[in-house]
Every structure is written in structure tokens, then in C-alpha cells.
Amino acid sequence: MRIYHSLADVPDSVAGRVVAIGVFDGVHRGHQEILRRAVEAARVSGASSAAVTFYPHPDAVLTPPFGPAHAHPART
């Protein structure tokens, strides 16, 4: 697994990937199915697969009073 914190950090070699984008805040059955489909689509097309998620949680940024408590970045 590779973690990129900025789009500028992503190498050009990742072009041609099947990407699952979501707030994977717990890998329940729905998330498992999305990831399974991305992996299968990549396998069929001969590409690699990847998952893109967000930190902090989008609700922590867009609606801070309602965002998950664990999703707020540590404040120093």
C-alpha cells in the first residue's frame, strides 16, 4: 500500500488504473463490494486497482459540528 498526501505526489505511472473513490470509514459489506468491483474491473482490463479516500473525513471539514469526532485532525 502506498499513501499519497497530495495529488502532486502521485507518480505518472499510476495512469491506467481502476480507482474506487469513497469515504472508506469502515470496510463493511457495501465498501467490500465497491472494492471487489474495482479489483475485478482492473483484472479484466489488465490494469491495476487503487482506492482513494479522504482525511480528514469530509464531514469534519464541511460540517464540523456533525463530523465524526475521530475524523478531526489533531490540533497543535
How does pLDDT run across 3-61, given as a tens digit for each residue? 888 878 888 877 788 999 998 877 789 999 999 999 999 999 999 998 988 888 888 88
pLDDT band at 76; cut points 50, 70, 90: very low
pLDDT tops 70 at residue 63: yes
DSSP H helices in the chain: 29-45, 58-62
Note the pLDDT of residue 55: 84
User: In whole angstroms, how far apart are CA 14 and each of 22, 29, 49, 56?
Assistant: 18, 27, 9, 23
Residue 45's CB is within 10 A of a number of other CB atoms, namely 12
Note the pLDDT of residue 70: 63
Residue 69's CB is within 10 A of a number of other CB atoms, namely 7
Q: How far is CA 50 from the centre of its chain?
A: 8
Q: Is-above-0.75 flag for pTM?
A: no
